[in-house]
Amino acid sequence: MFFRVLRWIGISLLAGLMLLIGSSCTMLGLNYASLDIYNKPVASPPIDVSALISDPAERERLKGLLQETLYGAWPEGMPVSFSDWRVIVPDYLEGRGTLEEMDITIGAGDGARTFQLVGAFPHIATAVPVVISQTFGTNCATFPEQPVTSMDGDPCAVHDYGPIVSFIVSAVFGEYIAEAPVELYFDAGFAYASFHASDFVPDDADEAGPAIAALGGSPNPGSTLMAWAYAFSAAVTAMEGDARIDNDHVAVLGHSRHGKAALLAAAWDNRIDTVIAHQSGFAGAALSRSPSGERLDRMVKSYPHWLAPTAEKYAANPETLPFDQHHLLALIAPRPLFLGNARRDVWSDPNSSYRAALAASEVWKGYGETGLKDDITHFDPKADIAYFLRPGGHSVVDDDIEAFLAFLTAHLGQPRQLPNTVSAP
Ligand code: GCU
């Protein structure tokens, strides 16, 4: 009893500490994002909508600007190879599907890097849409208590997903910050696959640069965000030959830093049909010229490896950027785009993300789509740009998953009720 009490005191203290760290790095704390859109600057410089729609050279010009300033090179043509799927749980979720794993290798020569993609496939007799996510948590944390491969190469054991640390992280950043709600994706008729981004390029200012430089590409990714974006693309390559997957219904999903990577991946890779960028913030959907929230100057100091070295000079003076993030969003048009936000997540600047979406929406309209609904508080999952703003802070919680699924279902599939046990097709 005494030890149990002691343990809970320890856990509470740790949770308090994490909350403090969390609120200072994400400004979870006291502020609310402004809902006032029309008394704030319109995203600038303007998008040349007709050029972007009619002239492929305009697309390439914009991608060139993104690379030269903030993100560095997209590693076009960098080799991707992958193993067959290995079934690791044949009767996953009480027989509703299988849990499988494959190795993906990106790069050439000694510096090529391998990571594991974990896939959950429902037993459905038709090709299903898939959500490919890249995660903060290790694969062990994303699929707790499943024998997926841990970072040390053995099947995950309890110490790999660390129930206490998981408990604290979930308490601060939401139940689904790590764990994947696979049964909900199955309920909606989706397959789900994910990988731990740091297994490819570590999220570490000292380690990322050397890892990227050794990849053996020509060119190598120009930054960690570009590397993670390319990993999304590699996962699409690895899955596209799978008959169980509907290749015209591939969504990528990322939260925060991985939301930034998801947007980049879709801008470069047209095989991605739909994007969920949740709380992607600066260098994601938020305007670099906005003075609220994190801002690029703080990002380049705290996370120097995320962007290219050239970003530092623009971060100090974002007005000199020849584009803003509405151009990045515009490169995704006319594909459906979900932008997740939270009212207290001022750090990721929901207000300027909405203004970026509003400006980019003209491109969706130019393609004959409806674009963004003209109300920051109204979430319409059917909209081509679905802007979602909920109460609360920087996290992935039930309401987010519900919104993701409403959006995915509206754009990529109809909800299907699955029997509890069906045999494999
Ligand atoms: C930090 C960083 C953000 C990032 C976030 C995250 O708060 O400043 O830019 O989006 O981490 O990835 O959770």
**Does residue 257 have its Cβ closer than 6 Å to ligand 1?**
yes
- Domains contained in the chain, number: 1
Token couple for 260: 């930034």
The whole-angstrom separation of Cα 149 and Cα 95 is 21
- Domain interval for residue 151: 2-412
CA angle 404, 407, 411 (to 5 degrees): 135
347 lines ligand 1 (CB under 6 A): yes
294 lines ligand 1 (CB under 6 A): yes
Cβ-based neighbours of 39, under 8 Å, separated by 6 or more: none
Residue 8 phi/psi, 5-degree rounding, is -70, -35
Ligand 1 mean position to 350 CA, how many Å?
13
How far CA 397 is from CA of 156, 178, 403, in Å, comes to 25, 11, 10
**How far apart are the C-alpha atoms of 175 and 318, rounded to whole Å?**
35
Ligand 1 atom nearest the C-alpha of 136 is: 12
Task: Specify if 360 maps to a domain.
Answer: yes
Contact assessment for residue 292 and residue 55, using Cβ atoms and an 8 Å cutoff? no
Residue 340, domain member (yes or no): yes
Q: In angstroms, rounded to a whole number, what is the distance separating the alpha carbons of residues 353 and 256?
A: 13
Question: Which protein residue has the closest C-alpha to ligand 1 atom 12?
Answer: 257
Are 256 and 247 contacting, i.e. CB atoms less than 8 angstroms apart?
no
| Total residue count of the chain as it appears in this document | 425
Q: Does residue 425 form part of some domain?
A: no
For the four alpha carbons of 38, 40, 42 and 43, in that order, the dihedral sign comes to negative
Cβ(353) to ligand 1 under 6 A?
no
> Do the domain assignments include residue 339?
yes
Record the tokens describing residue 415, joined without a space: 């909800």
The answer to whether the Cα torsion of 169, 172, 175, 177 is positive or negative is negative
Phi, psi values for residue 19, rounded to 5°: -65, -40
Please tell me if the CB atom of residue 340 comes closer than 6 angstroms to any atom of ligand 1. no
Give me the pLDDT at residue 176, please: 77
Q: Do residues 97 and 184 make contact, with C-beta atoms less than 8 angstroms apart? A: no
- Please state the three-class secondary structure of the chain as a single string: CHHHHHHHHHHHHHHHHHHHHHHHHHCCCCCCCCCCCCCCCCCCCCCCHHHHHHCHHHHHHHHHHHHHHHHCCCCCCCCEEECCCEEEEEEHHHHCEEEEEEEEEECCHHHCEEEEEEEEEECCCCCEEEEEEEECCCHHHHCCCCCCECCCCCECCHHHHCHHHHHHHHHHHCCCCCCCCHHHHHHCCCEEEEEEHHHHCCCCCCCHHHHHHCCCCCCCCCCHHHHHHHHHHHHHHHHCCCCCEEEEEEEEEEECHHHHHHHHHHHHCCCCCEEEEECCCECCCECCCCCCCCCHHHHHHHCCCCCCCCHHHHHHCHHHCCCCHHHHHHCCCCCCEEEEEECCCHHHCHHHHHHHHHHHHHHHHHCCCCCECCCCCCCCCCCCEEEEEECCCCCCCHHHHHHHHHHHHHHHCCCCCCCCCCCCC
Cα distances (Å, whole numbers) of residue 89 to 86, 150, 179? 9, 15, 17
Residue 355 lies in a domain: yes
Residue 96 CB–ligand 1 contact under 6 Å? no
Mutate to test the pocket of ligand 1, among 24, 26, 307 (most ligand atoms within 8 A of CB): 26
Residue 422 lies in a domain: no
Tens digit of pLDDT per residue, the chain (425 long)? Answer: 555 655 655 555 565 555 544 444 444 456 999 999 999 999 999 999 999 999 999 999 999 999 999 999 999 999 999 999 999 999 999 999 999 999 999 999 999 999 999 999 999 988 999 999 999 999 999 999 999 999 888 999 877 766 777 777 778 888 777 799 999 999 999 999 999 999 999 999 999 999 999 999 999 999 999 999 999 999 999 999 999 999 999 999 999 999 999 999 999 999 999 999 999 999 999 999 999 999 999 999 999 999 999 999 999 999 999 999 999 999 999 999 999 999 999 999 999 999 999 999 999 999 999 999 889 999 999 999 999 999 999 999 999 999 999 999 999 985 444 444 333 33
Strands 128-135, 97-106: pairing kind:
unpaired
Best of 136, 394, 395, 396 to mutate for ligand 1, by most ligand atoms within 8 A of CB?
394
411 in contact with ligand 1, CB cutoff 6 A: no
CATH code of the domain containing 330: 3.40.50.1820
Q: Are strands 80-82 and 97-106 parallel, antiparallel or unpaired?
A: antiparallel
420 located within any domain: no
| Residue 398: count of CB within 10 angstroms of its CB | 12
Q: What is the distance between the alpha carbons of residues 26 and 48, in angstroms, rounded to a whole number?
A: 34
**Ligand 1, residues 348, 349, 396, 400: which to mutate, most atoms within 8 A of Cβ?**
348
Residue 182 inside a domain? The answer is yes
For residue 211, the model assigns a pLDDT of 98
What is the maximal distance between C-alpha atoms in the chain? 71
- CA dist 410 and 366 (Å) reads 21
Distance from C-alpha of 261 to C-alpha of 313, rounded to nearest angstrom? 21
Compute the distance from residue 394 Cα to the ligand 1 centre, in Å.
Answer: 9
Cβ neighbours of residue 114 under 8 Å, at least 6 residues apart? 103, 104, 105
Q: Is the CB of 299 under 6 A from ligand 1?
A: yes
Return the pLDDT at 94: 97
Q: What is the distance in A from the centroid of ligand 1 to the CA of 335?
A: 25
